[in-house]
Structure 1
Amino acid sequence: ADKEEEEEEHPAPADSAVVAPTAADQAPSAKGTEPFETDESAATPPPYPAYCTTARISIPAPVPMPAWTDSEVVRLLAISSPPASPLSPWSSPP
Protein backbone atom coordinates (compact mmCIF):
# COMPACT_ATOMS: atom_id res chain seq x y z
CA ALA A 1 0.00 0.00 0.00
CA ASP A 2 2.95 2.32 0.72
CA LYS A 3 4.38 1.83 -2.75
CA GLU A 4 1.06 2.68 -4.38
CA GLU A 5 0.68 5.82 -2.31
CA GLU A 6 4.21 6.93 -3.09
CA GLU A 7 3.67 6.35 -6.79
CA GLU A 8 0.55 8.49 -6.71
CA GLU A 9 2.38 11.30 -4.96
CA HIS A 10 5.23 11.18 -7.46
CA PRO A 11 3.13 12.45 -10.40
CA ALA A 12 1.70 15.12 -8.11
CA PRO A 13 3.60 18.41 -7.62
CA ALA A 14 7.02 17.87 -6.02
CA ASP A 15 6.15 20.65 -3.55
CA SER A 16 3.34 18.54 -2.09
CA ALA A 17 5.68 15.55 -1.63
CA VAL A 18 8.31 17.74 0.05
CA VAL A 19 5.80 19.45 2.34
CA ALA A 20 4.19 16.15 3.40
CA PRO A 21 7.41 14.72 4.92
CA THR A 22 8.27 18.06 6.53
CA ALA A 23 4.90 18.34 8.29
CA ALA A 24 5.09 14.69 9.41
CA ASP A 25 8.57 15.27 10.85
CA GLN A 26 7.40 18.35 12.75
CA ALA A 27 4.12 16.78 13.89
CA PRO A 28 5.77 14.04 16.02
CA SER A 29 8.37 16.45 17.40
CA ALA A 30 5.74 19.03 18.35
CA LYS A 31 3.37 16.32 19.61
CA GLY A 32 5.85 15.45 22.35
CA THR A 33 6.10 19.12 23.30
CA GLU A 34 2.31 19.64 23.33
CA PRO A 35 1.89 22.79 21.19
CA PHE A 36 1.71 20.52 18.15
CA GLU A 37 -1.59 22.14 17.16
CA THR A 38 0.16 25.42 16.44
CA ASP A 39 2.89 23.70 14.45
CA GLU A 40 0.34 21.75 12.41
CA SER A 41 -1.54 24.96 11.64
CA ALA A 42 1.63 26.65 10.42
CA ALA A 43 2.65 23.60 8.37
CA THR A 44 -0.80 23.42 6.76
CA PRO A 45 -0.89 26.95 5.26
CA PRO A 46 2.40 26.59 3.29
CA PRO A 47 1.01 23.97 0.88
CA TYR A 48 -2.14 26.03 0.37
CA PRO A 49 -0.48 29.23 -0.90
CA ALA A 50 1.70 27.17 -3.21
CA TYR A 51 -1.38 25.68 -4.81
CA CYS A 52 -3.11 29.06 -4.99
CA THR A 53 -0.09 30.57 -6.73
CA THR A 54 -0.03 27.82 -9.32
CA ALA A 55 -3.70 28.30 -10.12
CA ARG A 56 -3.31 32.06 -10.12
CA ILE A 57 -0.49 31.94 -12.66
CA SER A 58 -2.72 29.95 -15.01
CA ILE A 59 -5.64 32.37 -14.66
CA PRO A 60 -3.79 35.70 -15.13
CA ALA A 61 -2.27 34.46 -18.38
CA PRO A 62 -5.58 34.50 -20.31
CA VAL A 63 -6.76 37.67 -18.56
CA PRO A 64 -4.09 40.03 -20.00
CA MET A 65 -4.69 38.55 -23.44
CA PRO A 66 -7.97 40.42 -24.05
CA ALA A 67 -6.64 43.72 -22.71
CA TRP A 68 -3.42 43.29 -24.69
CA THR A 69 -5.41 42.40 -27.81
CA ASP A 70 -7.45 45.60 -27.57
CA SER A 71 -4.33 47.73 -27.34
CA GLU A 72 -2.71 45.76 -30.14
CA VAL A 73 -5.79 46.13 -32.35
CA VAL A 74 -5.81 49.91 -31.92
CA ARG A 75 -2.09 50.06 -32.58
CA LEU A 76 -2.37 47.81 -35.62
CA LEU A 77 -5.20 49.94 -36.99
CA ALA A 78 -3.19 53.13 -36.52
CA ILE A 79 -0.07 51.57 -38.07
CA SER A 80 -1.99 49.90 -40.90
CA SER A 81 -3.78 53.18 -41.69
CA PRO A 82 -1.06 55.84 -42.05
CA PRO A 83 -3.68 58.42 -43.06
CA ALA A 84 -5.81 59.34 -40.02
CA SER A 85 -8.82 57.83 -41.80
CA PRO A 86 -10.26 55.94 -38.82
CA LEU A 87 -9.11 58.74 -36.54
CA SER A 88 -10.89 61.45 -38.52
CA PRO A 89 -14.43 60.34 -37.70
CA TRP A 90 -13.34 59.61 -34.16
CA SER A 91 -11.78 63.03 -33.64
CA SER A 92 -14.66 64.99 -35.22
CA PRO A 93 -17.98 63.18 -34.62
CA PRO A 94 -21.06 64.17 -36.65
Structure 2
Amino acid sequence: MVRLPGEGGLRVIGAVDLSTREVWRNALESAATDGSPVRLDLSELSFIDTRGTSMLVAAAQRRHGTAPLTITRPPRTLLRVLAVLCPGEPVEIVIEEQEAS
Protein backbone atom coordinates (compact mmCIF):
# COMPACT_ATOMS: atom_id res chain seq x y z
CA MET A 1 0.00 0.00 0.00
CA VAL A 2 1.17 3.45 -0.91
CA ARG A 3 -0.07 6.75 0.52
CA LEU A 4 -1.75 9.00 -2.02
CA PRO A 5 -0.05 12.40 -2.03
CA GLY A 6 -2.20 15.13 -0.54
CA GLU A 7 -5.41 13.12 -0.56
CA GLY A 8 -5.49 11.32 2.76
CA GLY A 9 -5.80 7.99 1.04
CA LEU A 10 -4.05 4.83 -0.03
CA ARG A 11 -3.32 3.01 -3.26
CA VAL A 12 -3.64 -0.71 -2.72
CA ILE A 13 -1.25 -2.77 -4.82
CA GLY A 14 -1.43 -6.54 -5.08
CA ALA A 15 -3.52 -8.86 -2.94
CA VAL A 16 -5.36 -8.59 0.35
CA ASP A 17 -5.35 -12.08 1.80
CA LEU A 18 -4.13 -14.02 4.81
CA SER A 19 -0.51 -12.96 4.23
CA THR A 20 -1.33 -9.23 4.08
CA ARG A 21 -4.34 -9.08 6.39
CA GLU A 22 -2.55 -7.36 9.28
CA VAL A 23 -1.17 -4.65 7.00
CA TRP A 24 -4.70 -4.17 5.57
CA ARG A 25 -6.23 -3.96 9.04
CA ASN A 26 -3.66 -1.38 10.18
CA ALA A 27 -4.10 0.67 7.01
CA LEU A 28 -7.90 0.74 7.38
CA GLU A 29 -7.67 1.65 11.06
CA SER A 30 -5.13 4.42 10.58
CA ALA A 31 -6.96 5.85 7.56
CA ALA A 32 -10.30 5.97 9.36
CA THR A 33 -9.43 7.44 12.75
CA ASP A 34 -9.92 11.18 12.43
CA GLY A 35 -13.21 11.41 10.51
CA SER A 36 -11.67 13.07 7.47
CA PRO A 37 -12.44 11.70 3.99
CA VAL A 38 -10.69 8.45 3.13
CA ARG A 39 -10.00 7.37 -0.44
CA LEU A 40 -8.75 3.93 -1.42
CA ASP A 41 -7.47 3.60 -4.98
CA LEU A 42 -8.10 -0.07 -5.79
CA SER A 43 -7.09 0.06 -9.44
CA GLU A 44 -4.06 -2.14 -8.74
CA LEU A 45 -5.80 -4.54 -6.35
CA SER A 46 -5.35 -7.99 -7.85
CA PHE A 47 -7.30 -9.98 -5.24
CA ILE A 48 -9.17 -9.46 -1.98
CA ASP A 49 -10.53 -12.33 0.07
CA THR A 50 -13.88 -12.25 1.86
CA ARG A 51 -12.26 -11.44 5.22
CA GLY A 52 -10.46 -8.45 3.69
CA THR A 53 -13.77 -7.34 2.17
CA SER A 54 -15.51 -7.73 5.54
CA MET A 55 -12.83 -5.57 7.11
CA LEU A 56 -13.45 -2.91 4.44
CA VAL A 57 -17.20 -2.96 5.20
CA ALA A 58 -16.52 -2.74 8.95
CA ALA A 59 -14.22 0.26 8.40
CA ALA A 60 -16.95 1.97 6.40
CA GLN A 61 -19.53 1.24 9.10
CA ARG A 62 -17.24 2.70 11.79
CA ARG A 63 -17.23 5.94 9.79
CA HIS A 64 -21.02 6.29 10.09
CA GLY A 65 -21.87 9.96 10.50
CA THR A 66 -18.50 11.19 9.24
CA ALA A 67 -17.09 11.46 5.73
CA PRO A 68 -17.70 8.26 3.77
CA LEU A 69 -15.00 5.86 2.70
CA THR A 70 -14.46 6.21 -1.07
CA ILE A 71 -13.07 3.43 -3.24
CA THR A 72 -11.80 4.24 -6.70
CA ARG A 73 -11.74 1.74 -9.57
CA PRO A 74 -12.53 -1.40 -7.55
CA PRO A 75 -12.30 -4.76 -9.30
CA ARG A 76 -15.63 -6.25 -10.39
CA THR A 77 -15.09 -9.21 -8.11
CA LEU A 78 -15.03 -6.92 -5.08
CA LEU A 79 -18.28 -5.28 -6.15
CA ARG A 80 -19.91 -8.73 -6.47
CA VAL A 81 -18.73 -9.79 -3.02
CA LEU A 82 -19.97 -6.51 -1.51
CA ALA A 83 -23.38 -7.18 -3.06
CA VAL A 84 -23.47 -10.62 -1.40
CA LEU A 85 -22.14 -9.46 1.98
CA CYS A 86 -24.40 -6.41 2.21
CA PRO A 87 -27.66 -7.12 0.38
CA GLY A 88 -29.98 -4.23 1.02
CA GLU A 89 -27.85 -2.87 3.87
CA PRO A 90 -26.69 0.73 3.64
CA VAL A 91 -22.91 0.61 3.60
CA GLU A 92 -21.28 4.00 3.44
CA ILE A 93 -18.82 3.22 0.68
CA VAL A 94 -18.75 5.60 -2.24
CA ILE A 95 -17.63 3.95 -5.47
CA GLU A 96 -15.95 6.27 -7.96
CA GLU A 97 -14.83 5.77 -11.52
CA GLN A 98 -15.28 2.60 -13.47
CA GLU A 99 -14.16 -0.74 -12.18
CA ALA A 100 -10.74 -2.02 -13.04
CA SER A 101 -10.84 -4.91 -15.53
**When you count helix as a share of all residues, which structure comes out higher?**
1
Q: TM-score, normalised by structure 2?
A: 0.18
Instruction: Work out which structure has the larger RCO, using CA pairs closer than 8 Å and 6 or more positions apart in sequence.
Output: 2
**When you count strand as a share of all residues, which structure comes out higher?**
2
**Larger radius of gyration, structure 1 or 2?**
1
